[in-house]
Structure 1
Amino acid sequence: MNSSALELEVPKHAAPDTVRRILDQAKQDRRTSLTAPEAKAICDAYGITVPREALATSADEAAARAADMGFPVVLKIVSRDILHKTEAGGVLVGLKSVDEVRAGYDTILANAKAYNANAEIAGVQVQQMLTSGQEVIIGAVTDDSFGKLVAFGMGGILVEVLKDITFRLAPIDKDEALGMIDGIQAAEMLRGVRGGEPADRAALADMIARVSRLVDDFPEIAELDLNPVFAMANGAIAADVRIVLDFAPKEVRPRPGQAEILAAMNRIMRPRAVAVIGASAENGKIGNSVMKNIINGGYPGEIYPIHPQAAEIMGYKAYKSVKDVPSEIDVAVFAIPAKFVAGALKECGEKGIAGAVLIPSGFAETGNEEGQRELQEIGRKYNIRLMGPNIYGFYYLPAKLCATFCTPYDVRGHAALSSQSGGIGMAIIGFSRSAKMGVSAIVGLGNKSDLDEDDLLTFFEADDETHIVAQHLEDLKDGRSFADVARRVTKKKPVVVLKAGRTAAGAKAASSHTGALAGNDRIYEDVFKQVGVIRARSLREMLDFARGIPKLPTPAGENVVIITGAGGSGVLLSDACVDYGLKLMAMPEDLDTAFRKFIPPFGAAGNPVDITGGEPPSTYQNTIRLGLEDPRIHALILGYWHTIITPPMVFANLVVQVVEEFRAKGIEKPIVASLAGDVEVEEAAEFLYEHGIPSYAYSTEIPVAVLGAKYNWARGAGLIR
């Protein structure tokens, strides 16, 4: 029996030193986990409350320790070779006497030897047994993309079966920890139900915050479980602690500073001179399409076609190499086969070109990882930022630059969109054109060998021409960097993300319970929420958000009122409000009376306000006017039903008339509309949209989703009182 893992007296002022000493010893011993006494010492060092416990090396000592702390007690095997104690029969609970403890000690040792005859056993941990409180789990994991994450969930079946757990980037403060507690499905259980005492949420939040600080301070802690934690009316205690270690050095992704990123991105997106490597005069060639788009898009800067034989292409003098161009070049668009890219990229580096738009495929997406690494090495050596490879290029309309082989696009506006997939890029272009959604940029990122979503966010944050950013992605090469940038950008501009692969397999095999629950999509969901990113569930939703959110003014508060001409529409709109996190206003008596003045006796005031389908246009006008006049109402959802008395375009015109009347008075509130009826409602919806009112024919969900997205952004940015 080895007694090297002893209880440690930990001076509070020496917390980091204590943890470092324990971790260094484990590293020296080549261990990947800590013993229970070591884990307890680390918890003590960080003020994480655990039960009274002691290490016993004999049955008599175990009995004496148990008698001292009081029954019932729990016995647990202490061995650096046995991580999963329960599987080894190394845990006994509810022991109520010294005789049971003595017998239990012998039983646990026998079970441990049967489980692993070669296990080095330090003794048996005697622990005060907790018998009251709500069971929860607090933990931490290390994600390949996001790094250290802290987790919280309900214990027992709620976390095992329902996966009722939430994650945040570590470290977090107590306020964020309280948000985690409120963010699980079973949050109300902790507030006390059916006469039960509420849990001490402040104590839980404090424990979550301390765990987050611990794992942030010590990257070697790969996984940590406090399971279960007993949340009581006064305090919280972690009954069991498991700490898994990983001392392998982590690969550090090269990351330029914000100023450096902006300098390069400005040269790429707003270049004074563009080279097209592989430019061609032959129709059907990618290099031909790129040249045509740049020229026909009205790009005012210098254009340098690069071709090994041609003297001129499309009226522009051609050069054999970028190095032969006598002037400075900001960005080069590549339209040559993959096997020639590395050589041409090196020449770009020698020329001092800031960015390379790598259209060619044939790299990591086809298994050519080595070829892609070569490009990355060249890029780092010469400080060239790489967009792609395997992309359609990009559009940046303020510079009149269509650096792509796709169809030209010229509907200028303020939405910047990007996609990891070329097919999704085509859909973005098509929708934007069809819906007349003005864009500032459309960017393809492809394999993301270098430039990725956070580089684009850094540029669009500083771009006055961009008011909203919407991004499709399949993964994040550096989720932590993305989160850091997104947290900053979302305070100024909405950021919408469509994360593909929601049904993909979860995280890699984990040693801790928390790690096993850390599904990839759950982490993305919670981190996006933490940093204020709006998550779209579908391509259409992302596009509708990109188009609709900028149209809506920021709401002054949470009170939403539905005004509808059909009861069925009102019910569906109410359901959608629940789904998208909107708060239907509880109608004050005086406001209810005011609405009733304009609707027939068989209509319904309250909220939704049902004016019925037989009412004339004036009823819509009066109720909408009241909704805009009253400062207690912060947003309106209109549910229109096609009638002969108020045809679709009559409805659309009267809504615009009332809204513009109040805009002239300086009163603006978010308004969305759902239109049900024959095909004429399509024209009416488009007319409303053109006048700043996001409106949708045949849908009660989309308008509410758009309004909900605006609210989610405004809440995250701290703009709603």
Structure 2
Amino acid sequence: MGPHYLSKLFKPNSVAIFGASDRPESVGANALQNMLKAGFKGAIYPINPKHATVQNQVCYASIADVPQVPELVVIATPAHSIASIIQACGEQGVANAVILSAGFEDEAGKKLQKQITATAHAYKMRLLGPNCLGILRPEIGLNATFSKNQAKPGHLALISQSGALCTAVLDWAEANEVGFSQVVSTGDAADIDFGEILDFLAVDPQTHSILLYIEGIADARRFMSGLKAAARMKPVILLKSGRMPEGTRAAVSHTGALVGADDVFTAAIERAGAIRAQSISQLFAAAKTLSHNMNFKHSRLAILTNGGGPGVMATDRAAELGIALPQPSEQSLEALNAFLPQHWSHANPIDILGDATGARYTQSLAVCQADERYDAILVLLTPQAMTEPTEIAQAICEFIDNTPHCKPIFTAWLGERLVSEARSYFSQHSVPTFRTPEASVEALAFLANYHQNQALLMQAPATGAHNGNLVDASGARLIINAALSEHRDILTSTETRAIMHAFGVPITPAIEAANANQAMIAAESLGFPVGIKINSPDLTHKSDVGGVKLNLHSALEVKHAFTSMVERIRLAQPNANVLGVTVEPMSVRPHARELLVGVMRDPVFGPAITFGSGGTAVEVLKDSAIGLPPLNTFMAKKMINSTKIAKMLGEFRGLPAVNCDAVVDVLLRISDMVAQLPEIIELDINPLFADEHGAIAVDARIRIQHPTNHKRAYAHMAIHPYPAELIVHTQTKTGLEVTLRPIQPEDASMELEFVKNLSERSRYLRFMNQLQTLSPEMLSRFTQIDYDREMAFIMTTTNSAGQEVEIGVTRYTTNPDGLSCEMAIVVRDDYHHQGVAGLLLENLIDHAKLKGLHKMEGEVLSENYGMLQLAQQFGFKLHTLEDDPEVTAIELDLTKP
């Protein structure tokens, strides 16, 4: 893999500064002064037509006068001058620009911003800003900002929409000796935004973890793509201010009332494998914790303390964060009793009393280390009369160094003067240390959440239709289109049930009745007892207006109930369009729990699915969990277990346990429905009855609208599903039975084995170096892909032991222009000359065309005659690179049939 296309923006060898001056406090003056003070290792070219020198540096009148084309230009001139500057830079071949200038806020400014961006794109120039603080790369002395702060080199990257927050963080970091690999202020993000910056930082070797400050997101798909790419490689911690705007969405269901935009944002962050902080201090605490590369499957905590009070404080915070505090096992109690004073706590927190020595601490640590009930240990200390804080810290560090597979250990030495040396010792030995019990527990929670979210990141769910579910998406779409053609945005009860049936969601039958006679006929047809519900697109919560009548046992009761209900509601709601009622059989389920499953359309992230407690009090209870489609079984179960009602789904006060698999199935089918039907913007199933026999929807409501983007599949979703529809079972020309399918995260071990089995020559021809195996970063990059902007097809067959083995792989990645892509292909040596490469490449080309790409490119070693011959067979044009005759560029026009 070559350098990232944004490398010269963030790591330039030469920088020109437009607007550089000697005028104190001007943006251009500060930017040049910062570059000089930071000791930039490349060339600096001040540009200002009014000066021959600026800050004792030669100053140039224009970009054309600069002795070489700079890799980056920084612009600090008035907004009205920038269009001509971008034009001139484009003509000179400048590839990257950072616009510090403001002045694009009003309508005229926005129009000017669009003009500048269009000009830049015409010259294939990339822009950061406008209205941004700039960028820093301390390792090369790059400080292209107008901040008053410098930054130390380090391994943290910071991306912020707010320049003010950048300066605050830089000031804090300078005082706390915190260094950075990269600092980027995005400003108004006219061109480059979070997604592409995250994509660059994902492969930046200097960056070990990423801090992200967000105020709003413009392109959810690109943001999620970049965030997932980065989170696959290194910890990403986000801080978001305020709530995302909810747009003009008018909620017509319980779901709409329950779900806020901030809830959806949190669900998106979890799905991407990142974690969210609530404050700047939490942001850095999380980064510090995650930098220690600790790992555990659960979050069961042992608290070891020499004081009862701090232990209680830690316990309280752990309970608030859902961290379990199991009691010591019988074996642990016996072991602790053998050496602890008689009055120790005999419980977790393990209070080893105020006179505890280093030996007592490490003996207790050894017991907790051996107890399988604990995943991590928190060690607390208060500096009491007989306490030696530094000596105990040294003993704990020695214990960690001498303990194989030591569990994660967090420390909190309370106080200041007496414990400062011990804290420094912990820091020097890479042991997480905090000032308060609460902060240490929060750090553990960050670590637990991070690993839980990483598990979510590994999921690549397909739509349910490709998981064995029989659906009729085309039939459902016909029903929806008919309603839209009648200018309706709410489906009738009958239409809603038809959509549910099309996707296999169990729902009670219902018959619409416009008058009392029809209601009686419907009741007799369904069988008593029945219930009737008012049928009106204008009345969302039927029970709130007296629009529900249950347990009717005769035709006469149905007639009276119909008449009284319709008359009463028409008087009380004269503006409502009352169509009559729906008649439904009573669902007799004495053991049922009332649940809710819903969908709402977030203006940024698209459809979001919610699950929780159902019934008439859902807005009061507010017990729900949110997930972004597509879902799979793992994710659906996580949603269910995140709610309070999950505890009531097991055996409960004599009730048998609910068939949770049936509830999971409903969630998966709803996920499939909203993935395949972008017309659905809101859905409400309330209640969903669930008992030991299964789950069934009793009432449902669907709101629809015309989709805004017809061209891109799943364009309404923030996450592209696993494209299971592309799985093909076929044969090679030699009769070998193979499966051709998109790669998925679970293929990591198979991909690693595939590369190991390649000959040295095949590895050299594919990777153009002496690669022996895939690094963890490369393995993640190859197997956890974004199906919206890239594709990798693997070909597998079954070996003599019945195991699936990979015999070939091909892939393309869309270039930043969105119209071209770069491809690669490799086949295992013992499967050469069997038609494997041809099948793979044909499939890749077909998919790229389907995505609307115009050109496929690649670079092949000139000695790779087999690949060059294959490329020619498929119509690629070949030409040798001028600067490297050992490499041949191949190019295919995808617009030709």
> 2: distance between equivalents of 1:507 and 1:588?
53
Q: Does the CA-based 8 Å contact 1:552-1:693 persist in structure 2?
A: no
Q: Does the CA-based 8 Å contact 2:149-2:171 persist in structure 1?
A: no
In the TM superposition, what whole-angstrom CA distance separates every residue of 1:396-455 from its partner, at most 9, and x where no partner exists?
123331111223434222111121112211121122222222221121112122222111
1:632–1:516 CA distance, 2 compared to 1 (3 A): closer
> 2: distance between equivalents of 1:600 and 1:570?
18
Partner of 1:702: 439
> Deviation of residue 264 (structure 1)?
3.6
Partner of 2:38: 297
The AA in structure 1 aligned to 2:249 is A
> 2: distance between equivalents of 1:438 and 1:661?
30
In the TM superposition, what whole-angstrom CA distance separates every residue of 1:90-136 from its partner, at most 9, and x where no partner exists?
xxxxxxxxxxxxxxxxxxxxxxxxxxxxxxxxxxxxxxxxxxxxxxx
Aligned positions of 1:11-410 closer than 5 A? 263-364=4-105, 368-410=109-151
Number of residues of Structure 1 aligned to a counterpart in Structure 2: 457
Q: Does the CA-based 8 Å contact 2:298-2:448 persist in structure 1?
A: no
Aligned positions of 1:449-598 closer than 5 A? 449-502=190-243, 506-510=246-250, 512-513=252-253, 514-555=255-296, 558-598=299-339
Partner of 2:410: 672
> 2: distance between equivalents of 1:635 and 1:668?
9
> Deviation of residue 274 (structure 1)?
0.8
The AA in structure 1 aligned to 2:450 is W
The AA in structure 1 aligned to 2:199 is T
- State whether structure 2 residue 434 is matched by structure 1 residue 693: no
1:668–1:363 CA distance, 2 compared to 1 (3 A): farther
The AA in structure 2 aligned to 1:377 is A
- State whether structure 2 residue 176 is matched by structure 1 residue 435: yes
Partner of 1:711: 448
Partner of 2:864: none
1:334–1:556 CA distance, 2 compared to 1 (3 A): same
> 1: distance between equivalents of 2:439 and 2:259?
31
> Deviation of residue 297 (structure 1)?
1.6
> 2: distance between equivalents of 1:390 and 1:412?
25
Structure 1, gaps ≥5 residues long: 1-257
> Deviation of residue 630 (structure 1)?
5.9
Q: Does the CA-based 8 Å contact 2:130-2:190 persist in structure 1?
A: yes
> 1: distance between equivalents of 2:154 and 2:97?
25
SS at match of 1:427: helix
> 2: distance between equivalents of 1:654 and 1:509?
59
SS at match of 2:291: helix
The AA in structure 1 aligned to 2:229 is R
The AA in structure 2 aligned to 1:335 is A
> Deviation of residue 647 (structure 1)?
3.7
1:491–1:584 CA distance, 2 compared to 1 (3 A): farther
- State whether structure 2 residue 396 is matched by structure 1 residue 655: yes
- State whether structure 2 residue 328 is matched by structure 1 residue 615: no
Q: Does the CA-based 8 Å contact 2:332-2:368 persist in structure 1?
A: no
The AA in structure 1 aligned to 2:165 is I
1:358–1:572 CA distance, 2 compared to 1 (3 A): same
In the TM superposition, what whole-angstrom CA distance separates every residue of 1:444-500 from its partner, at most 9, and x where no partner exists?
112122222111210110011111111011001112221122223222211111111
The AA in structure 2 aligned to 1:479 is A
1:588–1:329 CA distance, 2 compared to 1 (3 A): same
> 1: distance between equivalents of 2:369 and 2:178?
27
SS at match of 2:419: helix
Higher mean displacement: 463-472 or 390-399: 390-399
> Deviation of residue 652 (structure 1)?
3.0
1:634–1:511 CA distance, 2 compared to 1 (3 A): closer
> 2: distance between equivalents of 1:687 and 1:273?
41
TM-score, scaled to structure 1: 0.59
> Deviation of residue 616 (structure 1)?
2.5
> 2: distance between equivalents of 1:682 and 1:430?
23
Q: Does the CA-based 8 Å contact 2:156-2:181 persist in structure 1?
A: yes
Q: Does the CA-based 8 Å contact 1:507-1:516 persist in structure 2?
A: no
1:426–1:408 CA distance, 2 compared to 1 (3 A): closer
> Deviation of residue 678 (structure 1)?
5.0
> Deviation of residue 538 (structure 1)?
1.6
Partner of 1:68: none
Q: Does the CA-based 8 Å contact 1:323-1:350 persist in structure 2?
A: no
Q: Does the CA-based 8 Å contact 1:428-1:543 persist in structure 2?
A: no
SS at match of 1:622: helix
Identity across aligned pairs (percent)? 28
> 2: distance between equivalents of 1:606 and 1:316?
70
Q: Does the CA-based 8 Å contact 1:468-1:546 persist in structure 2?
A: yes
In the TM superposition, what whole-angstrom CA distance separates every residue of 1:322-351 from its partner, at most 9, and x where no partner exists?
222232211111122222222212222222
Higher mean displacement: 583-592 or 390-399: 583-592
1:378–1:659 CA distance, 2 compared to 1 (3 A): same
Partner of 1:681: 419
In the TM superposition, what whole-angstrom CA distance separates every residue of 1:520-560 from its partner, at most 9, and x where no partner exists?
11110111122222011122211222233213523365443
> 1: distance between equivalents of 2:336 and 2:247?
53
In the TM superposition, what whole-angstrom CA distance separates every residue of 1:167-218 from its partner, at most 9, and x where no partner exists?
xxxxxxxxxxxxxxxxxxxxxxxxxxxxxxxxxxxxxxxxxxxxxxxxxxxx
> 2: distance between equivalents of 1:669 and 1:299?
43
Partner of 2:186: 445
> Deviation of residue 626 (structure 1)?
4.0
Partner of 2:651: none
1:656–1:436 CA distance, 2 compared to 1 (3 A): farther
1:398–1:365 CA distance, 2 compared to 1 (3 A): farther
The AA in structure 2 aligned to 1:508 is T
> Deviation of residue 298 (structure 1)?
2.3
1:678–1:415 CA distance, 2 compared to 1 (3 A): closer
Q: Does the CA-based 8 Å contact 1:552-1:671 persist in structure 2?
A: no
Structure 2, gaps ≥5 residues long: 459-633, 635-897
TM-score, scaled to structure 2: 0.48
> 2: distance between equivalents of 1:315 and 1:518?
59
Q: Does the CA-based 8 Å contact 1:264-1:354 persist in structure 2?
A: no
Q: Does the CA-based 8 Å contact 1:562-1:608 persist in structure 2?
A: yes
Partner of 1:604: 345
> 2: distance between equivalents of 1:574 and 1:593?
23
CA RMSD of aligned residues (A): 2.7
The AA in structure 2 aligned to 1:383 is K
Higher mean displacement: 347-356 or 666-675: 666-675
> Deviation of residue 563 (structure 1)?
0.9
The AA in structure 2 aligned to 1:463 is D
> 1: distance between equivalents of 2:184 and 2:405?
36
> Deviation of residue 628 (structure 1)?
4.4
> Deviation of residue 392 (structure 1)?
1.4
The AA in structure 1 aligned to 2:343 is F
> 2: distance between equivalents of 1:428 and 1:301?
26
